[in-house]
Chain A
Amino acid sequence: MGAFLALGLFQGAVYGLLAVGIVLVYKAKRVFNFAQGEFGGVAAFTAFAIVVGAGLPYWVGVVGGLAAAVAMGLIVERVIVRPLESSSRTIMLVALVGVALFTIAIIVLLGQPIPRVMPPLIAGGGVNILGAGILPQQLILMAVLAVLAAAMAWFFKTDMGLAVLASSQDTRAAQVVGISPVAVSRLVWGMAALLGGIAGLLYAPVGIFTPGFMTLTMLVPAFAAAVLGGMTSLPGAFIGGLAIGVVQNLGIYYLGQQLKVPGAAELGVFALLMLVLLIRPQGLLGKEA
């Protein structure tokens, strides 16, 4: 069971990272970013091309992957989001689904639609902590998360961070004090892309990965995590991600392995989402509308 819990926390943290990116964009722009997963996809495939394809050091792959993700975020912001700023949210949503599919198609075209194996940053077996085998990759994740949490907490105390919060609360008022909406929009999409890229780099080495792996397997649980957290709370989104990862894997353990219920992971998540939305419709850390 410990192994399932550890796996759940790990997967959940990746969902959480994506969910924080989703909420960041949603808070600022009231846009559901269906391209969030592909920021991770682009980061993972770029890093793979650098590390495995070109044989360069791992850190070059990490930097290159994250740079590619942020570049994609800024391009999406400029080419898709800003021109559609005043159109309906449905059009925006469909456009972003289009971005995800287009990106997957490009990745397939550039490489091949075959599964790839990304080596982990630190190879080797697991460390035994409280009876569960913890992989080095999972320890790296913990360290990355601690740094990210501290960085985010710091950022939202700076003038820039306050400007992002202010713009999401009242765009007009932010303009009135001289904050440029374009600068905030770029910053938000860049940050969301960075978070997505980190999620992709952390998750890719866990198993084999194929084009679209982030969108197809990670995006829906990440959206569930964002909703669970209240859609407007960054810590809420992350906690929501952890909860979903854990419930998925405990579902597999209890319902799947012991009671042989099919679709146990999805069932667990569904039950959790229904339960939370029934008891707290505003989400775990969301404010009542």
Chain B
Amino acid sequence: MALLEVENLRAGYGSVPVLHGVSLSVDEGANAVLLGLNGAGKSTTLMTLAGLLPATSGEIRYDGKPLTGSPGARVRAGIVLVPEGRHVFPALTVKQNLRLGAWTIRRDARRAHRNLLEVYQIFPRLQERADQTAGTLSGGEQQMLAIGRGMMSSPRLLLIDEASLGLSPKLTEQVFAAVQLINERGVTVLMVEQNAGVLAQADTAFVMQQGRVTITGSGSETLADDVVRAAYLGV
């Protein structure tokens, strides 16, 4: 069953169109990757899905119903964005960052606490750094915090924007492994990446070029695709 269906989505910044009709479909429980080069429209797609940018036309269906509303309403519906560049709250502690991640479920202290324990289980490093301000964390730790913060509101669909940006290959691998773990716990994931290495763990892959999805397939199929190999792996 498709949890997210996007049809002919158009969006952009002011009068500059970036998305020229994006269509994709992500099944409930999928670990999907949206691959593309700089400027292909990957981040714009995620921002539009999260409600941070208005769609100019096209349709987004989530859980079978048309998706509209403020970013906050979408978080409450279970769609959570882990933004590009991490965007943690630098002067707040790790714990406070995570607490704000549970903003939409703040009246349910029990659930927020359960989620906190789960995040600490996935990222033990965050528990070690709980009382440190987020601005003092390393890039990899900040990325873990951004993902952990996204987990705090019990998302159904996690949109992760370039988690590997600026990370060493080893850290990238760790972050990808954590995302896979999160997916195995039942959260549907749509990751935006320029790093084709992530395809190995993806069950669904989309390749974006110039504001459109041009290739759709399973992760391994896409990894074997000649166009993808030429563009992303240089072979």
A180 CA / B73 CA spacing, docked (Å):
10
Per-position 1/0 for B190-223, Cβ under 8 A of A: 0000000000000000000000000000000000
Contacts of A174 in B (CB 8 A): 89, 100
Contacts of B101 in A (CB 8 A): 177
B132 to chain A, nearest CB (A): 15
Contacts of B71 in A (CB 8 A): 175-176, 178
Q: Is the CB of A170 within 8 A of B87?
A: yes
Stretch of A128-136, A157-165, A204-212 that contacts chain B: A157-165
Q: Is the CB of B100 within 8 A of A166?
A: yes
Q: Is the CB of A162 within 8 A of B99?
A: yes
Given the interface pairs A159-B99, A180-B70, the reply to whether A175 lies near B52 with Cβ below 8 Å is yes
A158 to chain B, nearest CB (A): 10
Chain B contributes a number of interface residues (CB within 8 A of A) equal to 27
Instruction: Tell me whether A173 is interfacial, beta carbon within 8 Å.
Output: yes
Instruction: Tell me whether B96 is interfacial, beta carbon within 8 Å.
Output: yes
Contacts of B91 in A (CB 8 A): 165, 169, 287
Stretch of B2-10, B22-30, B75-83 that contacts chain A: B75-83
Q: How many A-B residue pairs have CB under 8 A?
A: 66
Interface residues of A in 236-282 (CB under 8 A from B): none
Contacts of A170 in B (CB 8 A): 87-90
Q: Is the CB of A159 within 8 A of B89?
A: no
Q: Is the CB of A178 within 8 A of B87?
A: no
Given the interface pairs A162-B99, A163-B103, the reply to whether A176 lies near B92 with Cβ below 8 Å is no
Interface residues of A in 130-184 (CB under 8 A from B): 159, 162-163, 165-166, 169-170, 172-180
B18 to chain A, nearest CB (A): 17
Q: Is the CB of B103 within 8 A of A159?
A: yes
CB nearest to A159 among chain B residues: B106
**Residue from the list A162, A166, A178, A287 in contact with B72, Cβ < 8 A:** A178
Residue among A165, A178, A179 facing the most chain B CB atoms (10 A cut-off):
A178
Q: How large is the interface on A (under 10, 10 to 19, 20 to 34, 35 or more residues)?
A: 10 to 19
Residue among A170, A173, A177, A179 facing the most chain B CB atoms (10 A cut-off):
A177
Per-position 1/0 for B105-122, Cβ under 8 A of A: 010000000000000000
Interface residues of B in 61-77 (CB under 8 A from A): 70-72, 75-76
Given the interface pairs A173-B83, A176-B50, A177-B103, the reply to whether A165 lies near B72 with Cβ below 8 Å is no
**Residue from the list B80, B90, B100, B149 in contact with A163, Cβ < 8 A:** B100
A165 CA / B96 CA spacing, docked (Å):
11
Q: Is the CB of A176 within 8 A of B87?
A: yes
Q: Is the CB of B83 within 8 A of A178?
A: no
Q: Is the CB of B90 within 8 A of A169?
A: yes
B74 to chain A, nearest CB (A): 8
CB nearest to A166 among chain B residues: B89
B127 to chain A, nearest CB (A): 19
**Residue from the list B82, B89, B103 in contact with A169, Cβ < 8 A:** B89
Contacts of B72 in A (CB 8 A): 175, 178-180
**Top-9 shortest CB links A-B:** A178-B75, A173-B87, A178-B72, A178-B104, A166-B89, A169-B89, A177-B103, A175-B71, A178-B103
22 contacts between A and B (CB under 8 A): A159-B100, A162-B92, A162-B96, A162-B99, A166-B89, A166-B100, A170-B90, A173-B83, A173-B87, A173-B89, A175-B72, A176-B71, A176-B75, A176-B80, A176-B81, A176-B87, A177-B100, A177-B103, A177-B149, A178-B72, A178-B103, A178-B104
